[in-house]
Each structure stands twice: as structure tokens, then as C-alpha cells.
Amino acid sequence: MVFKHPVNPVIYTLEAAVNRQCVSVTLGTIRKRPAMITVIGNLKGGCGKSTITFNLAIWLAGAGENVVAFDLDPQATLSDVAEVRQEEGVQPAITVYRPESNPTKIMREHQGEVLVDVGASNLWAMRQAIAMAQRILVPVPPSQADVWSTARFRDIINETVINRKEPPEILLFINRADTHPGIRESRETESALASLAGVTLLENRICQRTAYRRSFSEGRAVFELPGGNKAAEEFLGLAARLYPELPPFRKKSNKAQRLNKESPSDDG
């Protein structure tokens, strides 16, 4: 049943509204405070922007944060996966807005966490989001081409915020790293990124793992797959680094997981 929100989010269901109440019952009051805007961006396609945004949105919602996500990419991957999550009835539900929802106004008025998934296919929206962001999180696959495009992205960020007194933090991390320690690209990419001026390279490395594709197709975060998996461990490390003030993720009981239609996980 669709619940029409006055500011027209594409995905906002009665379930989502009810879930907000459930979250406040189980986790206490949902924390509200001035918007903290994190843009997840980079110029190159396929670096993991939507995957990271989706997982972070669920992690934040699970931590009791009042989180909204924006999918400003015409491909609408984030909206699609949020829709799958909604259809599967997985909790907590997440709220994803599309570009036609008046993102600037919603971001300005939102109290809590804001995540923005945006790529080069919508440069105008990318600049708008960067102009408002407190920080830019940049997933970088391990390759020379990605180092070059990340440097260009940093330049675009700097041009966009040239008149701001407090520019956003630019946080880079390796995504889709090879799991084999003998392969040098991740280390080489990290040292190239570390030499870029005006950015912070996070130590958290996310490897290329099948759990991301598997969980995504089910509308779940990697850490919601049953059992332990390395993808979850790495992702939770990244989330804790980004939001050190929030409590660590606690997995639901086995019973709650069974109720959530579980399926097996694996790592690759």
C-alpha cells in the first residue's frame, strides 16, 4: 500500500512509516539532529557507489539513525534495490528519494543522516550534492585508470566548493580489491591515492566478494546474510570508521533471521 508523502519520494510506503515506529520502539527514539550529508560518488561507473550507499543506509537505519538516501542517478540502481527490499518485506525499510523529489529542500530540512548516490551521468546533480555535503566518500577500484579518474573527481569537488569556508572531507577507500594477497594492484592503488593532496585514504579495504551481488539481488545488506562472512566483516569495519559515535551492528537472533526469509551466503 503506497503512502503518499507530501514531498513526493518515489519510495515511501506505509510499511516504511510503520517501521519507523517499530525502530523507535525497539531501539529507542530515532536520533534527529541537523543533516549530516555524505555523498557517495566518483566519476567512473561500476566502482560501487550504489552498493555502498545501500549497505550504509541499512546500517544507519539499524543503528537507530533517521536516515534518508537519494538516488540521483538515472540508472536508479539504488531505488531498484530498495524496491526489492520493500517487496521482500525486509526490515528496517529504507527511504530513497529520486531527483524529481526536490532533493535540495529535503536535504536542507532533514534531521539526521543523508546519503547521496550520484555519478557522472548526472553531473549537475553531482555538483549540487557536493556543494551541500559535509563529506564525500569515494569508492575506488584498484586500477591506474581509477586513480586518474579519482584525481579528476577530487578536482571537480574542489572547483565546486571553492567558495565554501569549510570544504567537505574527501574520504577514499579501495572497493573491489582482489582477495588474493599476492596481487599488487590494491597496494599500488593505495599508495597512489595516498599521494593525492587534499584527500584522506581510509585503511578499510573492501574486497571483491560474491556476497555483495548475492545480498543485493535479495534487497539485503551483506551483513544481513545469515552466518558470518568476510564481506560483512569488512563492511562493518568501514561503517564503524565512518560513524564512530554509533553502536556496533548487532545481528538479529536466528529466529528473527528465519522470519526474514533467509538464504545461504558465501564469500568469494
- Binding track over 20-59 against ligand ATP, x by CB under 6 A: -------------------------xxxxxxx--------
Residue 80 CB neighbour total at 10 angstroms: 17
The verdict on 77 binding Mg ion (CB under 5 A) reads yes
- Assess 215 for contact with Mg ion (CB under 5 A): no
Is residue 122 a contact residue for ligand ATP (CB under 6 A)? no
| Nearer to ligand ATP among residue 23 and residue 190 (C-beta) | 190
CB atoms within 10 A of CB 246: 17
Binding residue for Mg ion, selected from 42, 50, 95, 189, defined by CB under 5 A? 50
What's the grid cell of residue 4?
503518499
Does 86 interact with ligand ATP (rule: CB under 6 A)? no
Complex with ligand ATP: residue 23 or 44, whichever CB lies closer: 44
Binding flag, residue 190, ligand ATP (CB under 6 A) = no
Residue 102 CB, nearest distance to Mg ion (Å)?
21
Judged by CB under 6 A, does residue 79 bind ligand ATP? no
Residue with cell 534495490: 81
CA-to-CA dists, residue 89 to 78, 159, 213, angstroms: 16, 42, 19
Q: Shortest approach of Mg ion to residue 184 CB, angstroms?
A: 28
Helix runs in 110-175, H state only: 123-132, 144-160
206 binds ligand ATP (CB under 6 A): yes
Strands of the chain, DSSP E:
36-41, 67-71, 96-97, 113-118, 135-140, 169-174, 200-201
Q: Is the peptide bond before 244 cis (omega within 30 degrees of 0)?
A: no
Does position 216 interact with ligand ATP (CB under 6 A)? The reply is yes
**Residues 223 and 251 sit within 8 Å (Cβ to Cβ):** yes
Q: Contact residues for ligand ATP (CB under 6 A)?
A: 45-51, 73, 75, 77, 119, 175-176, 206, 208-209, 212-213, 216
